[in-house]
Amino acid sequence: MSQNPFDASLVTGSDALTGLMETIVDGVITIDGEGRIIHFNPACERLFGYAADEVVGQNVKMLMPEPYRAEHDSYLESYRYTGKRKIIGIGREVTGRRKDGTTFPMELSVGEINRGERSAFVGVIRDLSARKRLEQGLRDSEAQHRAIVETAVDGLIIIDARGTVRIYNPACEKMFGYEADEVVGHNIKMLMPLQFASQHDGYLSNYLRTGNRKIIGVGREVVGRRKSGETFPIELSVGETVIGGERTYVGVLRDITTKKADQENLRRSRSELQDRVRELEIARDELQRNEQEMAQLAQLATAAREAADLASSAKSEFLAIVSHEIRTPMNAIMGFAKLLVDARLDEPHADHARMIQRASEALMTILNDIIDLSKIEAGRIELDEGVFSLPAKLKAIEQLWGPAAGSNDLYLRTVTAPDTPKAVVGDALRLRQILFNLVSNAIKFTREGGVEVRVGVDSRDGQKVKLRYEVSDTGIGIPEDKHQAIFEPFTQADSSTSRRYGGSGLGLSISKRLVEMMGGEIGVRSTPGVGSTFWFTVICDDAEQAGEEAEYSFDSVGEPVASMRVLVAEDHELNQVMIRTVLEALGHQVHVVPDGGSAVAAVERGGFDVVFMDIAMPELDGVAATERIRELDGPGAAIPIVALTAHAMKGDREKYISAGMTDYLSKPIDLGDLLRVLHKLHANPGQTDVSIN
């Protein structure tokens, strides 16, 4: 203890004062002039964690952390000699140190007591920890709100009841073009077009007076004005709150210029689409008025168009109907034309018959091209791959187109490179379609000279082989600037071409699509007046490397077969006469019935070798009639049944074979195909799976 003790009773005084110091919430410490603690009330014990008897008589430095502890004695000494105060009589925020070593903020007020020559100092202490935590929480909350305001994508504006802007975030700066310091403190009207700015104060005062809302708590679309003077649409939501007793309004703004533009574009697109629909409807109506003979087809097309959005299969159904309805009468036209040509009429009737035959064949070509193009565009064509002989396909080209070339004094020859596979796996039908189109065009556009068809290997990759075909002619040629256009639908090299040579301009477009489906390319080299070379590539499997064998393919019809007893089920009168005439001319006995029910009854009675069964018939169609025949008791159940139908879409053949039919011929009937079927039936009597290749 000090040699100059200070009597604590001189500081505490009366019992009442002592009681006050013992019960006061704030800590009270009394020290003598040397810094020794002479009084330490219970509040201090709670604050610092020391009992009074642990600190009384000790230097008050023990309650201070560094660097305050080291500075304390020098501070007291300086005060005694100079009278300069830092805390005494002033008060300040300092840091205390607890018994456990932790520190805490405290507010310290120090007063001085003099008793003669002796002095004592009384310190009143208040723990600021809770207040500091609250202040820090407020600062954190303010920082969070500031971050939200500063980083919000939407514009945020806060105004007071007078319309003065208090907060204006960065999104608003981008939106209006004003910096925050140009707007804050100014009336919100500066961000409005003049016609709306003049109404704002009246609206605000009216709301304060009556409570009638137009935007507050509702939200609406308004017009803003940028610093440049440009106006733009805004989506505005306004909320109301009270801060510090004053009404405050918080506005959230979103620039909807792009949204409005998108809406306008959508409206315009809808309008254009409606106009286009109206144009199509007008065109449809005019087609119906001008094409009386196609009324039934137009009705079917309209029905198919109205049902097109119900399922993707509707288009295929429509194409099947169109094909059937046109092929049915065309079967009679082409059949009778063939009969007339073969009848050796006298001129000019024979010439007329040949004209009818060529015209009907041209019409069928156009029909097939249109259906193929529609199926390709709808993604409905699938490749039907099988094994076939390349030499046989080239021979077929010579057989089919040789007479046409010869009649025009043109040569037609085919050349196969030595390394070309004998057989490949691919779609023989589509390959033949491409070649026939290119060869027919070459013959059509060549006046003298001839046409050469070449095939060879472009490249190999394992069993994959890329074949390259070239069809060269000495014809009229094509200008270079038309080389790409001729592969587009309904396009020919020159408008005069279609007038002079005919054609729809679909063949090359279809060929291009088919070549691409087979993994290849197509192109042309041509010089006007010299000739053209159309080339294309397709990717196939080498059948030999793939371990496949080419199936037998008929190269000729052969001799007529022995007389057969033929039952024909056909409801179309012209087709009845035509098929009867053709079969009887071939030496067969023919009996015709008009519907499926009559066909079933005739087979049940017996006496027939084969049935040619139409599909679309009244009462009982061909498929249902076939099912009933196959269910009969006795030998009639196994009679060969050949589908004879205008249904010629992909998958029809398989559908009728799976329904129990033996073979399939599509209308218009090709005489060669008819004879091949008869040959196969004659060679395989009673066999129910002898479809031609």
Contact 625, 600 (CB under 8 A): yes
- Provide the pLDDT for residue 498: 47
- Provide the pLDDT for residue 471: 95
- Provide the pLDDT for residue 433: 84
Amino acid at site 271: S
Contact 177, 226 (CB under 8 A): yes
Amino acid at site 143: A
224 closest CA partner among 213, 233, 215: 233
179 closest CA partner among 161, 193, 165: 165
Angle at 601 between CA 596 and CA 602, to 5 degrees: 95
454 closest CA partner among 468, 438, 444, 439: 468
Ranges assigned E (strand) in 546-617 = 565-569, 589-593, 610-613
Ranges 98-107, 484-493, 594-603: which has the least confidence: 484-493
- Provide the pLDDT for residue 315: 56
236 closest CA partner among 226, 227, 248, 223: 223
Element holding 160 (H helix, E strand): strand 155-160
Tell me the three state secondary structure of residue 345: coil
- Provide the pLDDT for residue 82: 66
- Provide the pLDDT for residue 206: 63
**Is pLDDT larger for residue 378 or for residue 573?**
573
Statement: residue 595 has pLDDT above 60: yes
- Provide the pLDDT for residue 394: 82
Q: Which residues contact 466 (CB under 8 A, 6 or more apart)?
A: 457, 458, 459, 460, 519, 520, 537, 538, 539
- Provide the pLDDT for residue 395: 83
d(Cα 149, Cα 157) in Å, to the nearest integer? 9
Band of residue 181 on the pLDDT scale cut at 50, 70, 90: very high
Q: Which residues contact 272 (CB under 8 A, 6 or more apart)?
A: none
Ranges 185-189, 206-210, 445-449: which has the least confidence: 206-210
pLDDT in tens, 40-90: 999 999 999 999 999 999 998 899 898 878 777 666 666 666 666 666 666
Tell me the three state secondary structure of residue 118: strand
Contact 427, 385 (CB under 8 A): yes
Band of residue 660 on the pLDDT scale cut at 50, 70, 90: very high
Contact 231, 193 (CB under 8 A): yes
Statement: residue 208 has pLDDT above 80: no
Torsion angles phi and psi, residue 680, rounded to 5:
-70, -35
d(Cα 198, Cα 225) in Å, to the nearest integer? 14
Ranges 151-155, 313-317, 343-347, 670-674: which has the least confidence: 313-317
- Provide the pLDDT for residue 277: 86
Instruction: Name the percent of the chain lying above pLDDT 70.
Output: 71
Band of residue 522 on the pLDDT scale cut at 50, 70, 90: very high
- Provide the pLDDT for residue 400: 77
d(Cα 517, Cα 514) in Å, to the nearest integer? 5
Output the six-digit token pair for 562.
Answer: 């022995």
Statement: residue 556 has pLDDT above 50: no
d(Cα 489, Cα 508) in Å, to the nearest integer? 8
d(Cα 412, Cα 221) in Å, to the nearest integer? 76
pLDDT in tens, 404-445: 888 889 999 999 999 899 899 988 888 888 898 899 889 988
Contact 422, 387 (CB under 8 A): no
Statement: residue 470 has pLDDT above 60: yes
559 closest CA partner among 590, 586, 589: 586
Contact 435, 455 (CB under 8 A): no
pLDDT in tens, 528-545: 989 999 999 999 999 888
Q: Which residues contact 99 (CB under 8 A, 6 or more apart)?
A: 48, 49, 50, 54
Strand partners of residue 224: 232
- Provide the pLDDT for residue 99: 93
**Tokens 């556009």 map to which residue?**
445
Statement: residue 254 has pLDDT above 80: yes
Statement: residue 462 has pLDDT above 70: yes
d(Cα 528, Cα 475) in Å, to the nearest integer? 8
Statement: residue 371 has pLDDT above 80: no
Give per-residue burial for 269-291: e unless 16+ CB within 10 Å, then b. eeeeeeeeeeeeeeeeeeebeee
- Provide the pLDDT for residue 318: 59
d(Cα 543, Cα 346) in Å, to the nearest integer? 51
Range 29-50 average pLDDT: 90
Ranges 18-32, 152-166, 306-320: which has the least confidence: 306-320
Q: Among the ranges 30-44, 143-157, 649-663, which has the highest mean pLDDT value?
A: 30-44
Statement: residue 359 has pLDDT above 70: no
pLDDT in tens, 288-340: 887 876 666 556 545 656 654 455 455 555 555 665 566 557 656 766 666 67
Peptide bond into 668 cis (omega under 30): yes
d(Cα 628, Cα 569) in Å, to the nearest integer? 14
Range 596-608 average pLDDT: 94
Q: How many Cα atoms are found within 13 Å in the side-chain-facing hemisphere of 540?
A: 32
**Is pLDDT larger for residue 278 or for residue 331?**
278
Band of residue 585 on the pLDDT scale cut at 50, 70, 90: confident
79 closest CA partner among 90, 69, 68, 87: 87
Q: How far is CA 523 from the centre of its chain?
A: 31
Contact 102, 127 (CB under 8 A): no
Q: How many Cα atoms are found within 13 Å in the side-chain-facing hemisphere of 456?
A: 9
d(Cα 397, Cα 409) in Å, to the nearest integer? 17
**Tokens 């806060």 map to which residue?**
158
Ranges assigned E (strand) in 552-658 = 565-569, 589-593, 610-613, 641-645
- Provide the pLDDT for residue 288: 85
Contact 649, 316 (CB under 8 A): yes
Contact 39, 60 (CB under 8 A): no
Q: How many Cα atoms are found within 13 Å in the side-chain-facing hemisphere of 624?
A: 10
Ranges 222-231, 322-331, 672-681: which has the least confidence: 322-331
Instruction: Name the percent of the chain lying above pLDDT 90.
Output: 26
Amino acid at site 169: N
Handedness of CA 391, 394, 399, 400 (dihedral sign): positive
- Provide the pLDDT for residue 454: 94
Range 541-559 average pLDDT: 62
What is the radius of gyration, based on Cα positions, of the chain?
52
User: β-strand 165-168 against 155-160: which pairing, if any?
Assistant: antiparallel
- Provide the pLDDT for residue 275: 86
**Tokens 């196939």 map to which residue?**
540
Range 548-573 average pLDDT: 71
Tell me the three state secondary structure of residue 61: helix
**Is pLDDT larger for residue 215 or for residue 148?**
148
d(Cα 539, Cα 426) in Å, to the nearest integer? 8
99 closest CA partner among 64, 69, 133: 64
**Is pLDDT larger for residue 151 or for residue 296?**
151
Backbone region of residue 35 per phi and psi (left: phi > 0; alpha: psi in -120 to 50; beta: other values) = left
- Global pTM? 0.40
**What's the chain's average pLDDT?**
79
Peptide bond into 391 cis (omega under 30): no
d(Cα 180, Cα 198) in Å, to the nearest integer? 23
